Structure 1
Amino acid sequence: MSTDLASLYSGRLLALAADIPHLGRLDAPDASVRERAPLCGSTVTADVVARDGRITDFAQDVKACALGQAAAAVLGQNIIGRTSNELTLALTELTAFLKDDGPVPSAPFEGFEALLPARDYKNRHASIVLSLKAAQKALINANFASNS
């Protein structure tokens, strides 16, 4: 493994990847969304239960590289109680953080800062945003279903 890749897969990043909160699937979600990163084949399925527009229960089935797993861990640590607007903002901020050298995403998602070394690996960005994208879409679908 090259020195660059060794620094990318830091101890902090690997610790996050090894401890993903809300791993698995829900028995009766209000909505589920599966997202796939075409370049690397990583997939995440997000299940949500929402009440009054906020996530009250969440599970994620993560089949991704260590970077995608680390991002799923940060998401899992902070997702309960979030609204679709908060997840949309987090996705916008994370994308800008990775692609445009933007600032670290705002609280409660500042833990994405652990993925700073991945900025230079553009082919990994899709895997990093996968869990957040799936959760955001699932919550939007759950909110739409409850308002129908």
Structure 2
Amino acid sequence: MAYMGRMNAPLYNKDILRLAASIPHHQRLANAQASVEKRSPTCGSRVTADVRMADGRIAEMGLDVKACALGQASAALMAAQAIGMSAAEMEQARDRLTAYLAGTSEDLDFWPGLAVLAPARGYPARHASIRLGFEAIAEAARMADA
């Protein structure tokens, strides 16, 4: 198990832990059109995303998430809404999350539930793990749609 440091209440609250324990689509797809693995060099968190597209939208997805609670919670929030999204919509969500975490945007309203991750903004070492699910699914969707 990866070292997570001390359990900081604002970062690892009950909502984060609940999300981390309930990731939708948490199994790999046997018939994926594209698969992408993203890894955080900072903490070793890893997310693998498999997708099947239909009519330019994510029809099926599968995830293998080996990440800290924040990375798992972010992947759970992403997976709960990604079915039916286009590659461009997933890329936009990835970019908006990145901008929020970097402090160049204050907007978290673009994706349901992300406000629960707001306390992690002040912990840059956690940002890569939080972005992994969004990065992996956006890239997989773009590859499958090509």
Distance 1:40 1:79 in 2: 25
Distance 2:32 2:117 in 1: 29
Unaligned runs of 5+ in 2: none
Show the counterpart of 1:142: 144
Residue of 81, 89, 96 corresponding to 1:93: 96
- CA displacement, residues 74-124 of structure 1 (integer Å, 9 cap, x when unaligned): 0110010000111111011111111116233344x1311110000011000
Show the counterpart of 2:73: 70
Show the counterpart of 2:47: 44
Residue of 50, 54, 58 corresponding to 1:55: 58
Q: Is the 8 A contact 1:55 1:83 kept in 2?
A: yes
SS at match of 2:27: coil
Q: % of aligned pairs identical?
A: 45
SS at match of 2:9: helix
Cα deviation for residue 125 of structure 1 reads: 0.2
Alpha-carbon RMSD across the aligned residues, in angstroms, is 1.5
Unaligned runs of 5+ in 1: none
Distance 1:92 1:111 in 2: 17
- CA displacement, residues 43-89 of structure 1 (integer Å, 9 cap, x when unaligned): 10000000111000001000000000000000110010000111111
Distance 2:136 2:142 in 1: 10
Show the counterpart of 1:127: 129
Establish whether residue 19 from structure 1 lines up as the match of residue 22 from structure 2: yes
SS at match of 1:77: helix
Q: Give the number of equivalent residue pairs.
A: 142
User: TM-score with structure 1 length normalisation?
Assistant: 0.91
Show the counterpart of 2:35: 32
